[in-house]
Structure 1
Amino acid sequence: MHMLLNSALKRFGLQNKSTHKFQLLSVSFYSTLHSISAPPQLQELCNIVTSTVGGLDDLELSLNKFKGSINSSLVAQAIDSIKHEAHTRRLLRFFLWSNKHLSRDLEDNDYNYALRVFAEKKDYTAMDILLGDLKKEGRVMDAQTFGLVAETFVKLGKEDEALGIFKNLDKYKCFIDEFTVTAIINALCSKGHAKRAEGVVWHHKDKVKGVLPCIYRSLLYGWSVQRNVKEARRIIQEMKSNGVNPDLVCYNTFLRCLCERNLRHNPSGLVPEALNVMMEMRFYKVLPTSISYNILLSCLGKTRRVKESCQILEAMNKSGVAPDWVSYYLVARVLFLSGRFGKGKEIVDQMIEKGLVPNHKFYYSLIGILCGVERVNHALELFEKMKGSSLGGYGPVYDVLIPKLCRGGAFEKGRELWDEAKCMGITLQCSRDVLDPSITEVYKPKRPEKINLVDSSKAKPQQKVSNYLERMKMRKRIAAIKKKKKQKSAAT
């Protein structure tokens, strides 16, 4: 989120207003210079905080015995050094102890940095305590800290608290400006709270005039998280009416929203409606890319629409959009899952012929799928192609193939792959015991039991006879009931 905001603000020239403004909009975390070897005082302080012996009260007793001179810089360096090792509660107690002993020597930057550390760790209690202290002591919360705090609160499902802080930013001596408004809107939209974000936009129209494209992107993403195509389309139309041309990011976001909704409610409309959006993109001089088509291919694969997936791959080549390795992966994946192994191999060969070099995920995933559908021979062929591309990182593939082969009874091939991996210096995660037939249980797939035709031929006539007798009994009962009714009517 912060990278997106930073790039948007650079584009609109908001970072050059003043030196103070630039400091507020900086997206880098507060950090201190580390020496090559930590000073003895810093090392001792870090050891005390990271110690796992004793509780929080014991920690404070150990800190009280610390004989070194505590200052703001040392506290910041200690937190920066151990923020990934120490438990958040011990970090919080250390910071509160430091504040109590240093009084006003701790600067606002130290408070903001500590708050960002706890936000990064998603510790709501620690953030709440520091926010209360920050407001009580009249310290300044910078805009960068607010952005991260708001984002963390929304991720934790506490969007009301995030909005509450935003509405009371003056109590934290933080200004409501382009950055803070954009930050709260981005935070809300990241989890689909687009309606509430639009309320913020409505109340702060004057603050967002310079960053409208960024605001619209966030709102569009917020509605797409909810798969609300109607509202997402409204945002697109509103952008056009306000003179903001939707770019490729906006159209791809809308396309994802449309495809994911059709995936659930109208799978047959996936291709025609997505192609209509791409036609609209071309009309507005926004050319679809492989990413646009991959959004559609991903949804087609989830609903196992094999024919349409292959047709879209062909349409990409015809329309001048070169498929990337992800496009081929998505098509090959759905082919293997649906049992079209020959066609799937052709797709992989096409990709290799075009000189595309995929990353490890391409081979890892497809080999895993082939093993899962009991096509180990095809998986071995694909592994040979992976080794031919000299990608490296073969260890996880060996860890999948060797146990699979041995459990299928192919112990010789399993040993061959084991020796091959050892010759290449690869450390395998699977145990050597899988190569031992006396330890590894061979999996034998159960076949459905055959029906005995002789028994079934005898059973059918017997069943027919029993059914016939049941029908005759019912008819006799009905006839007897009717006869009794007639006799009663005659007697009366």
Structure 2
Amino acid sequence: MSLFRLLSRSLRCSSSNPVNPLIYSSSRSFAFSSAEEAAAERRRRKRRLRIEPPLHALRRDPAAPRPPRDPNAPRLPDSTSALVGPRLNLHNRVQSLIRSGDLDSASATARHAVFSSTRPTVFTCNAISAAMLRARRLEDAINLHTFFFVQSNLVPNVVSYNILINTFCDSGNVDEALKVYQHILASAPFSPSAVTYRHLTKGLVDSNRIGEAMDLLREMLNRGHGADSLVYNTLMAGFIDLGNMDKALELFDELRERCKVYDGVVHATFMEAYFKQGKDKEAMDSYQSLLDLKFKMSPVTCNVLLEVLLKHEKIKEAEKMFEHMLDSHTPPNFTGINTDTYNIMVNECFKKGRFLESIEVFHRTGVKPCMMDVGCYNNIIGKLCENGLVAEAEKLFDEMPGKSVIPNAATYGFLIDGCFEGGRIEDALNYFEKMVSGGDGASKVDVSFYNKMFERLVKVGSVSSAMEIFGKMAERGLKPNSISYELLIDGLCKEGDLDRARHLLEDMLKSGAAASSEFREKVLDAFAQAGRVEEVERLLGEKTSSFAPQAQQEYVEHLQNA
């Protein structure tokens, strides 16, 4: 075939099948120099299709009918993906209020958000309910659950129900807790968790209904849940308290058959029982049998074992356990120790009178240091101040910012108490000012803390300093209550500054604060001794005839003779 004919045929093919220039320009030639290069190109194209699928794969046919939504399908609770944007900001704001101890403001913030465009997630609702439970405000915890999940139509998750069950059990209303459990089984789109059975079992055992607790254990197993060792432990402890050690051991054998790895708290329960019976050898044999299993135990489990060992003077074994926890602490791979561990060991040092050794224990670290929190610092600072070691407590206070730990009102309270006990009034005032002024480690301070400060200052005869603090309360958005006024007026009366006392009494009555009968008597006595009882009679609404001049003189003489 001639060259002319070949060229003509190629042109005819091009005209019948024109090549898109855009596609051609972005495509790569398939003439590869080797098989390896061709395989690499195929992998590149497949990878690109996975990352950027073709548009037709993303389009939904508008004419295609959508599957109908089942109106009877249960509504599902929020997933963690809902905790973003404004709802995450709301959650963090509520959590900050909880950490500061202002549960009323945290509750109000979450409840008001229900009526806004940024409705709280189930996680925010659970956070404030759990905080109320920890603070033993059980009625508030129940009311919040009703408000969020019944009245406001938010969807609870299993944690929400567990908090409610725990609240009912702690309040001694186990029957209501069982009703909540039955509601989960009948209506919830999820099953009860192991925590559900832990709360219910403990509530039944505490109510002397151990037979029902055993039935609940069997129900848990029949429903396909695993053999939770903490549920078993609650039942074993219940039978031990009833003097039925055989039944407790029978349950322990059953647990070991069902679980190859279980919680070591079970051994702590048996150790405590043996120690109470004076069977130290059996108690330590139980402890050794746990160590022989070489479980990786959580800090919570180890802490329970530590407490049992220290309680029964097994100091050597407790120190060895503490060393093991320090060595195994290798976060993020494994958390071997927590702040409660340090609190247990520090408390033991104070119990034995080894105050300075407690600071050494507090600073001990293993492979990696444990992240301390403000509660851990407060524990040792408070105990040092109580035992007159304020200087050592201040050193720990000074190191808190370097450890990213923010002091709270309790921290300052311990230092202020220690300074007052040591006669360091100026230092106490400096700590108080630092706390309320928003300086380093700003903390929310309520009126009760101010009242405690007034009481201390009046007691040491520094009423003028108390009045200075009182004068700044309004600037910080705090309104004094009747106790605030009574403490200051009483202090002014004792110092003989009746003019300021009368002015403060006027402010008190104008503010609507109620004056107790005992306080009225004190004020009348103080002004009667100075011959000025009529001034406060008018303020307090007393009948002036009850203190006629002659009667007033007799009353003054009576007080002087007394």
Report 1 or 2 for greater relative contact order, CA contacts < 8 Å, sequence distance ≥ 6: 1
Task: Report the structure number with the largest CA radius of gyration.
Answer: 2
TM-score under structure 1 length normalisation: 0.50
**Length-normalised TM-score, structure 2:** 0.45
